[in-house]
Chains A and B, each alone.
Chain A
Amino acid sequence: MANTVLSIENITVQFGGVVAVNNLSMHVDEGEIVSLIGPNGAGKTTAFNAITGVYQATNGRVIFNDEIILESHPTGKMKKLYAGENADLYHKIISKTPDKIAKLGMGRTFQNIRLFKELSVLDNVMIAKHMRLKGNLFTDTFMINYKEERKLREVCLELLKIVDLYDLRDEVASSLPYGKQRHLEIARALATEPKLLLLDEPAAGMNPQETEELTALIRKLRKDFNLTILLIEHHMNLVMDISDRIYVIDFGKLISSGTPEMVQGDQRVIDAYLGVADDE
């Protein structure tokens, strides 16, 4: 059996009285491409943010590479307000910050592109390498470790070649066309040397041809970098084409999971996307 890279147990994220993610459990095995889909507002991005440490989940546990990166239970005001399940399953509060989680090997992209807009394309990628640097403030400032810096630049340029941005390396990130910005986000995430790559709607706003290219790129990346990929996406063609397994959520709850064929045939999924007819 393949190793489980990411395992999410009973995650609930509640904002005030609103339960955005409700008792979600899923796992991603090494080398897999897993998709998380659901109608708009189903809580996909919230789940992503809970996994990557941007939000602290109200309840549940996330294990990444055999390390607990999040464990939480309702505390304080949430004790009374909590509307989810499994409230007494967890007793510790562990909440790693996003930078620690990134350092453990989880790279991500953002749904609403978050590049370092005023910096060059190359700088954007090199920033992601900052945490892998061996030098300290002193050696780095006075260029004592210039060899490392030079090597780092080479690696980043290679990454830019892979996503086809090498010729645009000195451009300011915000001047790139939309599709290229998405590619740059992927290159930047790759530069963090991830084991698991989380892609939040990488094909949003892309035309069918661009989507197809993206599909090929994701496949290639998985192979070349030995990646495991967790994907949120609305383009069903892309999802069904590329995924090994799919999780479907609606109103924060898991409603179906399995291979693309299984999910496509699931009546609950069809209902969630198309709605249930009243006159049955």
Chain B
Amino acid sequence: MKKNTKIIASLILAAALLGLLIFIDNSELKSSMLSTCLQKGAIYALVAVSMNLLNGFTGLFSLGQAGFMLIGAYTYAILTIPVASRASVYQYFDGGVVQFAIPVLPAILIAGLMAAVFAALIGLPVLKLKSDYLAIATLGFAEIIRAVIQWQQVAPLTNGSNMLRAFPTYSSILFPFIISGICIAAIILLIRSSYGRAFKAIREDEIAAEAMGINMFKHKMMSFVISSFFAGVGGALLAMFQSSVQAKGFTSAMTYEILLIVVIGGIGSITGSIIASFLFVSSMEWWLRFLDETQFIGDFEVPLLGTGFRMVVFSVVIMIIVLFWRRGIMGNKEFSWDGIFKFFKDPFGIVSKIKAKGAVKKNG
């Protein structure tokens, strides 16, 4: 395909998606399941891509994502609750210690920066660890943060284990798409830059990367801090989406959900993470919901279905993917029109396989 055709095709696709979103935004579909899945999908896509930057491109297996999202969500909420509502939100703590509110966009930025600062602090000791140990340490950090935020001593700031609410949210469903889009674009640019190449070099071979003059600690730290920044922004968006935050929602299970998205999409593929994020959120929230309710086929009551069965099915799907489709949807490749074109000409390489077999028969 020619370069111009590709650009035009991309523009048409982008315009179609934008049109679809605007349409949903202005119709009754706005409060439908479709709209919910799209919004949450966009937010999870950002967090998954940020995790992919760390786990897929730099090769650092970190499981702290939920912790950084939590910091982002709380920072956003604490900074933006209108002064008038603070008395009712912090009802057990005399209206809390923060008695000002800042606009939404700076608050989102600060939410990211706060997560980045925490990442830099824990990165100092933690990034000296390798593989599994790094995962355990970051997972531990996420759990500790969750406990600390619910601690009574900091409650005037965080409202303890009570909910934070009444902060401004977005009115148009385009908002999470725009913020996520900008952030993901920045991550893509980073990965394609010289620093992105250095990150990949660390993933491929640390000793060789160091011998090529790449400062190991500095670059690992960079990747960790940047990834956490975007996780923090994602957390802030999630807070807006849910319109309330509570620390107990940000469990390690949330990190695993995001890790799952990364694995399903393909470790080291941005587009994979994005596609997988929408698929995951849709099946989790929508398509597989019916498994949680009693279903009848005619007069026959389908056995096993009931609350929680959705998760059983989900686990089985995950196991199948990990066992047989380990490289995920995209492997470490990115979406390309050439790839799509090739796929339609020769889905899963079936045509070429058949041709190859035919050739063997002819020769034999």
Contacts known (A143-B189, A149-B194); A102 close to B204, Cβ less than 8 A: no
**What interface size band does chain B fall in?**
20 to 34
- Chain-A contact segment, one of B73-81, B126-134, B208-216, B248-256: B208-216
CA distance A152 to B193 in the complex (A): 12
Which one, A52, A99, A140, A188, contacts B195 given CB within 8 A? A140
Classify chain A's interface size: 35 or more
Q: Which of B186, B201, B215 contacts A127 (CB 8 A)?
A: B201
A137 to B198, CA, bound (A): 11
B193 engages A127 (CB within 8 Å): no
Q: Is A116 an interface residue (CB 8 A)?
A: yes
Docked CA distance A137–B201 (Å): 16
Residue A118 interfacial (CB < 8 Å): yes
Residues of B within 8 A of A127 (CB): 197-198, 200-201, 209, 212, 214
Contact of B194 among A110, A130, A191 (CB under 8 A): A130
CA distance A135 to B189 in the complex (A): 15
- Residues of A80-127 at the interface with B, using a CB-CB cut-off of 8 Å, are 97-100, 102-103, 108, 110, 114-119, 123, 126-127
B residues near A129, Cβ cutoff 8 Å: 194
Q: Which residues of A contact B195 (CB under 8 A)?
A: 130, 137, 140-141
CB distance from B99 to the nearest CB of A (A): 35
Chain A residues, Cβ within 8 Å of B332: 118
Contact in complex: A143, B204 (CB < 8 Å)? no
Distance in Å: Cβ of A228 to nearest Cβ of chain B:
17
Kindly state whether residue B122 has any CB partner on chain A within 8 Å.
no
Which residues of A have CB within 8 Å of B204? 115-119
Contacts of A116 in B (CB 8 A): 200-201, 204-205, 208-209
Q: Is the beta-carbon distance between A128 and B189 smaller than 8 angstroms?
A: no
Interface residues of B in 280-323 (CB under 8 A from A): none
Please tell me if B207 contacts chain A, counting CB pairs below 8 Å: yes
Which residues in B have their C-beta under 8 angstroms from that of A103? 213
User: What is the CB-to-nearest-CB distance from B2 to chain A, in angstroms, rounded to a whole number?
Assistant: 18
The residue in chain A whose Cβ has the minimal distance to the Cβ of B204 is: A116
A170 → B minimal CB distance (Å): 13
The answer to whether A128 and B212 touch (CB under 8 A), given A114-B205, A137-B222, A141-B189, is yes
Q: Which of B190, B200, B212 contacts A119 (CB 8 A)?
A: B200
Determine if A133 is an interface residue (Cβ-Cβ < 8 Å).
yes
In chain B, positions 205-261 with a C-beta closer than 8 Å to chain A are 205, 207-216, 222
Which chain B positions have C-beta within 8 A of A192?
A: 212-213
Contacts A137-B195, A140-B193, A141-B193: A128 and B213 contacting too (C-beta < 8 A)? yes
Question: Are B194 and A133 in contact (CB-based, < 8 A)?
Answer: yes
Contact with B along A122-158 (1 / 0, CB 8 A): 0100111111110101001111000001001000000
> What chain B residues lie within 8 Å of A110 (beta carbons)?
207-208, 211
A135, B216: Cα distance in complex, Å: 18
Quick check: is A204 within 8 A (CB to CB) of the other chain?
Answer: no
- Cα distance A97–B207 when bound, in Å? 11
Do the beta carbons of A142 and B216 come within 8 Å of each other?
Answer: no
CA distance A221 to B222 in the complex (A): 35
In the complex, A191→B208 CA distance in Å? 13
Nearest chain B CB to A264's CB is how many angstroms away?
32
B197, B213, B215 — most chain A CB neighbours (10 Å): B213
Q: Does A255 contact B (CB under 8 A)?
A: no
Partner of A99 from the list B194, B216, B222 (CB cut-off 8 Å) is B216
Most-contacted residue by chain A among B186, B212, B215 (CB, 10 A):
B212
Q: Are B189 and A102 in contact, with the CB atoms below 8 A? A: no
Is A163 interfacial (CB 8 A cutoff)?
no
Query: What is the bound-complex CA distance between A192 and B213, given in angstroms?
Result: 8
Interface string of B179-191 (1 = CB under 8 A from A): 0000000100110
Q: Return chain A residues, CB-CB under 8 Å to B214.
A: 99, 127, 130-131
How far does the alpha carbon of A127 sit from the alpha carbon of B222 in the complex, in Å? Answer: 16
B200–A52 contact, CB under 8 A?
A: no
Give 5 A-B pairs besides A110-B207, A129-B194, A141-B186 with Cβ atoms closer than 8 angstroms.
A54-B211, A99-B211, A102-B211, A130-B212, A141-B193
B residues in contact (CB < 8 Å) with A? 186, 189-190, 193-195, 197-198, 200-201, 204-205, 207-216, 222, 332
Interface CB pairs A-B, < 8 A, 7: A54-B211, A103-B213, A118-B204, A118-B332, A123-B197, A141-B186, A141-B193
